[in-house]
Amino acid sequence: MFVFVLILLLIAAVLGVLGAVLKFTAVLVLSLTLATVISIAIVWWAVKRQTRRYIESTKPETRQVYDTEGRVLRPDLPDQTD
CA 53 to each of CA 15, 29, 50: distance values in angstroms, whole numbers, following the listed order: 59, 36, 5
Per-residue pLDDT of the chain (82 residues; tens, 9 = 90+): 889 888 988 899 898 898 898 899 999 999 999 999 999 999 999 999 999 999 988 887 766 677 777 777 766 656 566 5
Q: What is the DSSP letter of 78?
A: -
- Check residue 56 and give its pLDDT: 87
- Check residue 37 and give its pLDDT: 98
- Check residue 67 and give its pLDDT: 75
Rounded to whole angstroms, the Cα distance separating 10 from 25 reads 15
For the chain, the structural domain boundaries read: 12-49
- Check residue 78 and give its pLDDT: 60
Q: What are phi and psi of 56, to 5 degrees?
A: -65, -35
Residue by residue, DSSP assigns 20-35 as HHHHHHHHHHHHHHHH
| pTM: predicted TM-score of the whole model, two decimal places | 0.58
Do 73 and 79 meet the contact criterion of CB atoms below 8 Å apart?
no
